[in-house]
Structure 1
Amino acid sequence: MLETAESEPAAALERTTERRHIDTFHVPDDVTSLDFSLPGVRLETTNTTDGDRTYGVARIIRITNGPGITDYVTHEKDFAYSTFGIHVGQDDRLTFFGDGQRISVHLIDCREDSPQLGDEITINMTVSPDRVLIIPKGVAHTLDGLGGVVTRDEPVWYADQNPDWEPDNDLISFLRTAPTAPVVQTNRHELPVSAHMLLSRMSQRTNQQVRGAYAARFRVSIGGKKTYATIRPNWRAAETEPNEHGMTGRNNFVLTGPESFTVVPSTDSCTSDVLEMELSSDGPFVRHEYSSRRLTWLGGSTDAHIEIVDADGRHTTVQLGDPTLGARIPPGTWYRLTGDGRIWLRSEMELLDLPYGPEHQLGRDATTAAPSEVGPSRLEQDSDRYLPGATLHALARMEAKAISLTHR
């Protein structure tokens, strides 16, 4: 599918720069913070805390000190990029999850006002949940080795009057084999957190209704005029039906490959944690007294099964192994995850609107029990009220800031 934009001033679209590869960096596995030779490109330490493993949680990877929006990209086994992409109105903040894969990140400075315009570097590193890679707007990027890797992006968005910016899709693409790269003007004005949340909710609505393929914009010449053309692949997801018992529901997603997905938030808070789970077949049950959870399988060495106990004490088990589906766990519901191996889960939360205190802390309301001790779950009540999404989002950002201060 090809879409064309209004023609922009020719001078603005003619700009290109020769590519000059200046350095290759090999990041040691134990390094989580590092600056690179392109301005603004760096690694920062994530907000990672150890789980108590009582119900399989080995680590919790919380949001970092940004606007707190969390999008996830899953990559099929043979995934490969054929293009570079440049965001003109977005800083990427990328955390990679996987099974020890080695990835290569290729970066080109395409910012029109950069003293290093055209400089290209390569970063080789092992995927790790302990570090976030920051790629500023205007820096072209592509990656190798992403098969089986899950990427979390916590974007920072900017607005401006800019001939290179398209609000619906600010990504400019060009072939990896091209000897030159586009020169772009980047947006200057960082959006407030409230605008980030508004855009994320708009993305939720769009991807709830249209689950098509992610489009790419290219600079082209049509009829002697320079313009942008948007190309949208015709990939379609083989959508799995939600569980008949109503335990699973469709996530909001767009395809980034035939079997690769960008999964955007499901809740009004627009944020989430990642749980690294070490599954077993005989773990305890857990319930969260004051919060609901929506769990999405992102990847790992195995699928998972989630066993839920209803208000009559009946046990129902469904499989989690599809990132396009999520399982919602109401407050007071007993459940456990079983399997054999390590997985990554997105954990979205809604917090009951109750008097806040030590017994009602963000993400710390878990009670566990052996299978023989589990009784019926609490029935979700019509009177249950949850904190507004903006409030929970603010609490999550405050928590992230507090955790980052303890890591210093």
Structure 2
Amino acid sequence: MPMTADAAPPATALDRSTPRRHIGTFEVPDDVTAVDFPLDGTRLETAHVTDRGATAGVVRVARISEGPGITDYVTHQKDFTYSTYGIHVGQDDRLTFFGDGQRIAVHLIDCREGSPRLGDEITIHMAVSPHRVLIIPKGVAHTLDGLGGVVTRDEPVWYADRNPDWEPDNDLVSFLRTAERAPVVRTNRHRLPVAAHLLLSRMSQRTNSEVRGAYAARFRVSVGGRTTYATIRPDWRAAEPQSDDHGLVRRNNFVLTGPESFTVVPSTDSCTSDVLEVALDGQDGRFTRHAYSRRTVTWMAGSEEADIEVVTADGEHRVVRLGDPTIGVRIPPGTWYRFTGTGRIWVRSEMELLDLSPWNLDHPLVRDLTTADPGEAGPSRPEQDGDRYLPGPALHALARMEAKAMSLTH
């Protein structure tokens, strides 16, 4: 999970490793969205995608899949490469890849203590696609090639246990890609309830809002004949965001996973979000507003010739340059906005829903969105001191219910 760690767990007397054996390479056709692979639990699942969102220019919306509903994101600079494998001890990765047609290679090694496939290694070749989710179970080492310019959404499943290989603040065990042997790890057994997922995600938000340093790598080492873990933290630092005198731009919660690559964790207490794919070319210039919800949008990948234009409460048109995943643009209820620029972008969209009445079970969310021609988009509704929003867990539950309903229609 995207939190930092400094302390190493107690040393153990075990030096567990396994030789690597490559057993196959799998080419995934572009039209295939669900398939199982030889390493138990490793598979592709069909994602929840709707075409043509209501916001002008949105050509595709990727909803969350079934599961705890937490959404973390990893962006990758154009020259990004991994020099290590990573093994999650207490986390299943559920990865969706967004980008402009890139092809990626996923390298996996079974490192699970007691697994009949221990040491077996496979390679998966596939195109980046919002239509499938790659499941990598805890204890399966992974590294990837071809991620330059790609953004990865992870909807993790977290587990806890009494386990000498587990460090709650950083459960990723790393080792070099060139190593002939891979570590063997004991994985956590007890899946956490949804409430615990929300708690951990909020703790991650708090940590990464204050530190915003580089993600630490944890390696198994031998010290004085005993095996323990050492943590290495690069000294990368992110540039300060542009100034903003209208209160629209906010600093996201993140850690650096490269000099210009970021793990971006949620900024709202619902801890969940959608991904919007936006075609900027050839739009009709219409503005959008949400009457009953506040949105925070974050550029994740794609064209850097992209802006968002917002009409303020006094009628001023404020243009914010996108292209920086460390900032989010806050759009209050009743605010007119539109995406402009050239090319195609992928943005994270987080929502907070106005609580109109504690007894109103017929919330007008279905009437939330309206559009207008440029000449019709007058001053936006000013944000009210009395605005109150539904609790994050309630919105989180609604998103998970939507995911379950979409699964039933597949």
Shift, 1:356, TM fit: 3.9
Q: Distance in 2 between matches of 1:25 and 1:250?
A: 40
**More displaced stretch, 311-320 vs 49-58:** 49-58
Contact 1:282 1:338 in 2 (8 A): no
Alignment correspondent of 1:377: 380
Q: Does the alignment pair 1:342 with 2:344?
A: yes
Contact 1:4 1:227 in 2 (8 A): no
Q: 1:5 to 1:49 in 2, by over 3 A?
A: same
Alignment correspondent of 1:307: 309
Deviations 1:141-176 (A, max 9, x none): 000011111000000000000010000100000111
Q: Distance in 2 between matches of 1:149 and 1:114?
A: 32
Deviations 1:95-129 (A, max 9, x none): 00011111000000000121111100000000000
Contact 2:5 2:169 in 1 (8 A): no
Classify the secondary structure of the residue corresponding to 2:227: strand
Alignment correspondent of 2:149: 148
Shift, 1:67, TM fit: 0.3
Which residue identity is paired with 2:303? S
Deviations 1:181-218 (A, max 9, x none): 01110000000000001000000010000011001111
Q: 1:242 to 1:114 in 2, by over 3 A?
A: farther
Alignment correspondent of 1:357: 362
Which of 383, 402, 405 aligns to 1:402? It is 405
Classify the secondary structure of the residue corresponding to 2:365: coil
Kindly report which structure 2 residues correspond to 1:7-406, keeping only aligned pairs within 5 A, or say none: 7-11=10-14, 14-52=15-53, 55-280=56-281, 282-354=284-356, 355-357=360-362, 359-361=364-366, 365-406=368-409
Q: TM-score by structure 2 length?
A: 0.96
Shift, 1:344, TM fit: 0.2
**More displaced stretch, 231-240 vs 39-48:** 231-240
Q: 1:228 to 1:296 in 2, by over 3 A?
A: same
Query: Where in structure 2 are there 5+ consecutive unaligned residues?
Result: none
Shift, 1:279, TM fit: 1.1
Classify the secondary structure of the residue corresponding to 1:396: helix
**More displaced stretch, 237-246 vs 20-29:** 237-246
Classify the secondary structure of the residue corresponding to 1:305: strand
Contact 2:10 2:164 in 1 (8 A): no
Shift, 1:282, TM fit: 4.5
Deviations 1:304-337 (A, max 9, x none): 2111112222211111110000000000111111
**More displaced stretch, 106-115 vs 281-290:** 281-290
Contact 1:212 1:235 in 2 (8 A): yes
Deviations 1:270-315 (A, max 9, x none): 0000000011465200100100000000011333211111222221
Which residue identity is paired with 1:327? V
Q: Distance in 1 between matches of 2:200 and 2:5?
A: 25
Q: 1:56 to 1:225 in 2, by over 3 A?
A: same
Q: TM-score by structure 1 length?
A: 0.96
Shift, 1:244, TM fit: 2.4
Report the count of equivalent residues. 403
Shift, 1:32, TM fit: 0.3
Q: Give the root-mean-square deviation of aligned CA atoms.
A: 1.5
Q: Distance in 1 between matches of 2:5 and 2:399?
A: 40
Q: 1:353 to 1:305 in 2, by over 3 A?
A: same
Contact 2:51 2:60 in 1 (8 A): yes
Q: Distance in 2 between matches of 1:261 and 1:377?
A: 33
Q: 1:321 to 1:356 in 2, by over 3 A?
A: farther
Q: Distance in 1 between matches of 2:5 and 2:166?
A: 18
